[in-house]
Amino acid sequence: MKIIETVKELRNELKPHRQGTIGFVPTMGYLHQGHLSLVERAKQECDTVVMSIFVNPLQFGPNEDLDRYPRDLERDAALAEAAGVDYLFHPSVSEMYPTEILTQVHVEKVTERLCGASRPGHFAGVTTVVTKLFHIVEPQRAYFGMKDAQQVAVIEQMVTDLHFPVTIVPCPTVREADGLALSSRNVYLSPEEREQALILNQSLREAKEKWVQGCFSHADEITEYVRKRIQTKPLADIDYVETLSYPRLEPLGERMGERMIVAVAVRFGKTRLIDNVLLDGRGEETCSVR
Amino acid sequence: MKIIETVKELRNELKPHRQGTIGFVPTMGYLHQGHLSLVERAKQECDTVVMSIFVNPLQFGPNEDLDRYPRDLERDAALAEAAGVDYLFHPSVSEMYPTEILTQVHVEKVTERLCGASRPGHFAGVTTVVTKLFHIVEPQRAYFGMKDAQQVAVIEQMVTDLHFPVTIVPCPTVREADGLALSSRNVYLSPEEREQALILNQSLREAKEKWVQGCFSHADEITEYVRKRIQTKPLADIDYVETLSYPRLEPLGERMGERMIVAVAVRFGKTRLIDNVLLDGRGEETCSVR
């Protein structure tokens, strides 16, 4: 595996590989099994796998955790190499933003709710840096985890709208054995917070089960169910709980959608965690607990 | 020359040419010698030349001339073929915008003045469609005429900021023998308007000459000179006259810039014409008329 720090060097290195398929895994580093599952999928489908590690300042708000976001290149490089990454692109901020950036890529509507509402400017930062990375790497396929379901929806919308010559491959959320979704931010959790944080996945799984059983008559009921379950944990400070259409992420209110997402963001102390579940492919069971 | 109407077909056709250099000339059609000079330059520098003809609704305001913009594909195809275009990409509006577009590329600051001020939303329409076309054609080089100097500045800013793997090649404005800058919109001018429209190039040439001779002490003096000269023509209805830094397009007021542009937009009846001159590489002569 080669570690590369400049755009020019990466483009030169990738030239001979352009005959084959280039797969791309963009990350902010501090790798966990979620990231590595994306590499694994890319290895299966592509000839060359490029991973980027770049903590992108543009997608952090002024009061967010840019400075304390965890970084460990040495550990990341070892994990990436073991997973089979061919090129690890690790540019500096000045390499990615050599001059004042005046251009931004904006996606409307899909960015309005959930993390788009809680983190103003976040998705413009994401779509802008992903555009830059796509132009630098020029992959045929790019891999994103479904823990960031809104990010996947936003990037798929952007790729369609702007005719990017790249296929977005959404991959399943990877979880600890007890159900906690893997996140680089999990390291911040105290043991007590870590324990209570399990309510995210638990409440979402319960909601899906009840939805499959036909226990809910509309989207807002699902939201209320999950909200109440999370509120049983005293350390949980809810940022949002929403049930929306997927991937357009429009509110449903007292309707049901064909394909829905229940998405949550919850603070435990200073640490903000997100998780979600897709409600699609409804089963045939009836509700046993109503 | 092949005329191609779908994204998929164009991508398939271009695949075998990607080993060589692909040059791209985006146009809105109704071709004149200005467009053909771009093709000529592209032929010199590239193995394959792609021209697009697409009257992009996104860059026209609600009260602008989208519907009356002149179109003549048969004539354009003959001219393009004679000039040596290899692929003429002529998509429909629904091919370029198959679904509601939620994504836009925005460039700040460089878009604030001149046509950016007169035509709100115009440059977001331009940068968005150029992004789409670059993603469809994937050229190494793209050719733009300097008559649209702000467009060149905006696109160069976008390409730098977003790391597009393409080189922008600005090409000189092509003029009629009497100095009128070629434009598809010139066909709308009455003989009298056509005659008076010569004041654009005349006043700009005079301004450059006087600037070379050191007759002006700051940018606003240049603006005033050109404005007064244009106002001698009764049919000329000035939209703007400005002298700005180039390519950042910032006002200079009572200063001079190292590199400046004097840019004008003037209506003759319903027809809006633009023209400009760059003030750089100052000569050594002194003013003889002061």
Q: Which CATH number belongs to the domain containing residue B18 in this structure?
A: 3.40.50.620
How does residue B182 score in pLDDT terms, banded at 50, 70 and 90? very high
Whether A243 and A222 have beta carbons less than 8 Å apart is answered as yes
Q: Taking all residues of chain A, what is their mean pLDDT, rounded to a whole number?
A: 95
Residues B25 and B159 in one domain: yes
Whether A173 and B200 have beta carbons less than 8 Å apart is answered as no
Question: Could you tell me if B157 lies within 8 Å of chain A, comparing CB atoms?
Answer: yes
CATH code of residue A252: 3.30.1300.10
pLDDT in tens, A274-290: 999 999 975 444 455 43
The residues pairing with B87 across neighbouring beta strands, listed in sequence order, are B2, B50
Closest CA to A53 of A116, A84, A98, A96: A96
What tens-digit pLDDT sequence spans chain A (290 residues)?
A: 999 999 999 999 999 999 999 999 999 999 999 999 999 999 999 999 999 999 999 999 998 989 999 999 999 999 999 999 999 999 999 999 999 999 999 999 999 999 999 999 999 999 999 999 999 999 999 999 999 999 999 999 999 999 999 999 999 999 999 999 999 999 999 999 999 999 999 999 999 999 999 999 999 999 999 999 999 999 999 999 999 999 999 999 999 999 999 999 999 999 999 999 999 975 444 455 43
Could you give the residue ranges of the DSSP H alpha helices within chain A? 7-14, 33-45, 73-83, 93-96, 115-118, 122-137, 149-161, 191-196, 198-212, 219-230
How does residue B260 score in pLDDT terms, banded at 50, 70 and 90? very high
Among B17, B35, B90, B106, the one annotated catalytic = B35
Q: Which residues of B touch A95 (CB under 8 A)?
A: none
Determine, yes or no, domain membership for B285: no
Residues B26 and B143 in one domain: yes
Residues A85 and A162 in one domain: yes
Contact call for B163 and A132, based on CB within 8 A: yes
Contact call for B135 and A7, based on CB within 8 A: no
- The shares of helix, strand and coil residues in chain A, as percent rounded to the nearest 5, are 40, 20, 40
pLDDT for the residue B287: 52
pLDDT for the residue B286: 46
Residues A166 and A269 in one domain: no
Residues B133 and B192 in one domain: no
Q: Report the distance separating Cα A269 and Cα A197, nearest Å.
A: 11
Determine, yes or no, domain membership for B288: no
Known binding residue A147? Answer is yes
Residues A15 and A117 in one domain: yes
The DSSP bridge pattern shows strands A48-53 and A22-27 to be parallel
User: Which of A112, A145, A171 delimits the end of a domain?
Assistant: A171
Query: How many Cβ pairs within 8 Å bridge chains A and B?
Result: 76
Residues A119 and A202 in one domain: no
| Min Cα–Cα distance to chain B from A238, Å | 29
Structure tokens given for B259: 């590199």
Q: Check if B218 is active-site.
A: no
Question: Could you tell me if A110 lies within 8 Å of chain B, comparing CB atoms?
Answer: yes
User: Which of A137, A171, A205 delimits the end of a domain?
Assistant: A171
Q: Report the distance separating Cα B136 and Cα A67, nearest Å.
A: 38
pLDDT for the residue A290: 36
- The shares of helix, strand and coil residues in chain B, as percent rounded to the nearest 5, are 40, 20, 40
C-alpha B202: how far from chain center: 19
Determine, yes or no, domain membership for A290: no
Residues B217 and B242 in one domain: yes
Contact call for A132 and B102, based on CB within 8 A: no
The helix/strand count (H/E) of chain B reads as 10, 10
Structure tokens given for A49: 């796998």
Residues A33 and A160 in one domain: yes
Structure tokens given for A36: 């590595």
Closest CA to B260 of B270, B271, B273, B249: B249
Could you give the residue ranges of the DSSP H alpha helices within chain B? 7-14, 33-45, 73-83, 93-96, 115-118, 122-137, 149-161, 191-196, 198-212, 219-231
Number of domains in chain B: 2
Residues B6 and B102 in one domain: yes
Q: Report the distance separating Cα B134 and Cα B118, nearest Å.
A: 26
User: Which of A131, A147, A171 delimits the end of a domain?
Assistant: A171
pLDDT for the residue A282: 56
pLDDT in tens, B48-88: 999 999 999 999 999 898 999 999 999 999 999 999 999 99
Q: Report the distance separating Cα A255 and Cα A245, nearest Å.
A: 10
How does residue B281 score in pLDDT terms, banded at 50, 70 and 90? confident
3-state secondary structure of A238: strand
Which residues of A are known catalytic residues? 35
Contact call for B162 and A136, based on CB within 8 A: no
Q: Report the distance separating Cα B160 and Cα A98, nearest Å.
A: 9
The residues pairing with B242 across neighbouring beta strands, listed in sequence order, are B263
Q: Which domain holds residue A80?
A: 2-171
Structure tokens given for A282: 């409804």
Whether B274 and B113 have beta carbons less than 8 Å apart is answered as no
Whether A280 and A247 have beta carbons less than 8 Å apart is answered as no
Determine, yes or no, domain membership for A177: no
Structure tokens given for A223: 């939201």
Residues B154 and B236 in one domain: no
Q: Which residues of A touch B24 (CB under 8 A)?
A: none
Q: Which residues contact residue B10 at a Cβ distance below 8 angstroms, ignoring those fewer than 6 apart?
A: B4, B50, B87, B89, B136, B137
Residues B164 and B208 in one domain: no
Q: Report the distance separating Cα A81 and Cα A88, nearest Å.
A: 9
Q: What is the ipTM of this complex?
A: 0.94
C-alpha B176: how far from chain center: 16
